[in-house]
Structure 1
Amino acid sequence: MRAAAVLQTGLRLIYPTTCLTCDALVDADHGLCGPCWRDTPFVSAPLCEGCGAPLKGDHTAAGELCDDCLRTERPWTAGRTAMLYAGNARKLVLALKHGDRVDIARPAATWMAAAAHDIVQPHTLVTAVPLHWQRRIRRRYNQSVLLARGVAKALDLGLCPDLLIRPAATPVLDGMSPDDRFSAMSRALTINDRKAELARHRPVLVVDDVMTSGATLAAATGALLRAGAAEVSVLTLARAVKDA
């Protein structure tokens, strides 16, 4: 252990730890410097019970819903998010999703776990929104699985990353209207029959990188409830809102 600590100290002298979004030096691995932390739109209470976005205006009581979740019924029990999809948060998500910055998954999962601590039970099973196998090969990893793995570890929960599958390729949802997104994702996800028993009569937490309309998470929730899950909650790294 002492030798490992000495080696780690030596490596830090040669390769100083820098902020995830800039070149500033930071004290801890996988962290943000002070200015970048302040510029990252982390979410704080009061929260929408449906998606975790901060409540505004008259919606400030615990358990209330934001305007978007009032307009669109959510099939899941509760939702949480770590930050709003804007500014530094958007940079982090895009770097993780498309920039091969898998190092972001570790701290991001820690932030997500902190956001979700009040909606999970000790026997909750964590899973991730799946990619179609063709997209998985092109990207080389599923960022949602990386996040789910970190969340499960941080919260000491069971993990089944391949509980859901995406049998057919679905179109890219960026630029679609909410109605088109829900239409495209309707029944697009299904349960992995080989793992279905793990979710039966058990609460499940579905992890994804970003929630926009909620169509993908709704498809995941529907598949899990049809497979016998006791209830489903959702957790994202970031929530896209119109005025963020």
Structure 2
Amino acid sequence: MLAQIQTTVGLIYPPACLSCGGAVDRHAGLCGPCWRDTAFIGGVVCDSCGIPLPGGSEGEVSHCDGCLAHPPPWVQGRSAFLYADTGRKMVLALKHGDRQEIAKPAALWMARAFRGKLPAETLVAPVPLHWQRLVKRRYNQSALLGRALARETGLAWCPDLLRRVRKTASLDGKSRIERFEILQDAICAHPKRQHLMLGRPVLIVDDVMTSGATLFAAARACIDAGAGPIRVVTLARVAKDT
């Protein structure tokens, strides 16, 4: 009976590419051209920010020059793909196009970026939106990703571990220094959830890493609240030379 229902649904709503809408073999997938046009991150990466690095051997711990000069407050960072071409289209569709179905396959790609090396006791939490922006957008794309990632990995999930206590200006077009200044003291731990992360590893989830300013503010809020080692993961990563 279930198989018949699935077949009927498949006939009415045939699988379509997440990016272009073209025909694919199964739901929540990418067609061949869109897959090839998505810059999935693999090989040697910076262990702190997840940016691809030239040379080296896969599996070795390496760091980019930027993270060596200015170490972030988290112990590891990863991203599924670069913020370009099809990857950029999917992020924007999730963030502004109400394409919430992208979160589930995105979570699988993000989980693969960590290769199963997340501590079992890790608490997953999203970068928060200010309540006014949340009302306007209706959902927090980082929370959608975080919830799907927690389900994919079997890790604990807390959607309101952090709060955005100050409405900040858009970061678009801002320099790295300006981004950090804008986000300073904008995020804090939820006073009723703070106990959940005491001494516990936390994985902070966001859609895109650019300068890292938002993740930096979120990580500092967790550390100030007594959390254990912080890790961060994003669906996409802006290349440092763009």
**Shift of the alpha carbon at 1:58?**
7.2
With 145-154 and 48-57 compared, the bigger mean Cα shift is at: 48-57
Counterpart position of 2:145: 147
Q: Distance in 2 between matches of 1:175 and 1:119?
A: 35
Note if contact 1:147-1:208 (Cα within 8 Å) is conserved in structure 2. yes
Counterpart position of 1:50: 48
1:221 aligns with one of 219, 222, 235: 219
Note if contact 2:126-2:143 (Cα within 8 Å) is conserved in structure 1. yes
1:88 aligns with one of 69, 86, 89: 86
**Shift of the alpha carbon at 1:15?**
1.7
Note if contact 1:119-1:233 (Cα within 8 Å) is conserved in structure 2. no
For residue 125 of structure 1, what is the amino acid of its counterpart? Answer: L
**Shift of the alpha carbon at 1:60?**
7.7
For residue 174 of structure 1, what is the amino acid of its counterpart? Answer: D
**Shift of the alpha carbon at 1:59?**
9.6
Task: Give CA deviations for 1:207-240 in whole Å, capped at 9, x if unaligned.
Answer: 0000000000000110001111111000000000
Counterpart position of 1:29: 27
Normalised TM-score (structure 1) = 0.95
1:124 aligns with one of 122, 143, 151: 122
Pairing 1:231–2:229 present: yes
Q: Distance in 2 between matches of 1:153 and 1:167?
A: 28
What fraction of aligned residue pairs are identical, expressed as a percent? Answer: 52
Q: Distance in 2 between matches of 1:243 and 1:72?
A: 17
- Structure 2 unaligned segments of length 5 or more: list them: none
Q: Counterpart of 1:130 in 2: which secondary structure?
A: coil
CA RMSD of aligned residues (A): 1.5
For residue 11 of structure 2, what is the amino acid of its counterpart? Answer: L
Q: Aligned in 2, Cα 1:60/1:109: closer, same or farther, shift over 3 Å?
A: closer
**Structure 2 matches for 1:64-213, cutoff 5 A?**
64-213=62-211
**Shift of the alpha carbon at 1:4?**
2.5
**Shift of the alpha carbon at 1:65?**
1.2
Q: Distance in 1 between matches of 2:156 and 2:109?
A: 18
**Shift of the alpha carbon at 1:67?**
3.0
Normalised TM-score (structure 2) = 0.96
With 118-127 and 76-85 compared, the bigger mean Cα shift is at: 118-127
**Shift of the alpha carbon at 1:61?**
7.6
Task: Give CA deviations for 1:101-146 in whole Å, capped at 9, x if unaligned.
Answer: 1111111111001112344101000000000000001000000000
Note if contact 1:78-1:119 (Cα within 8 Å) is conserved in structure 2. no
Q: Distance in 2 between matches of 1:108 and 1:134?
A: 26
Q: Distance in 1 between matches of 2:213 and 2:157?
A: 23
- Structure 1 unaligned segments of length 5 or more: list them: none
With 22-31 and 105-114 compared, the bigger mean Cα shift is at: 22-31
Note if contact 2:103-2:145 (Cα within 8 Å) is conserved in structure 1. yes
Note if contact 1:129-1:206 (Cα within 8 Å) is conserved in structure 2. yes
Note if contact 1:83-1:89 (Cα within 8 Å) is conserved in structure 2. yes
Task: Give CA deviations for 1:50-76 in whole Å, capped at 9, x if unaligned.
Answer: 111111257988221123323432110
Q: Counterpart of 1:97 in 2: which secondary structure?
A: helix
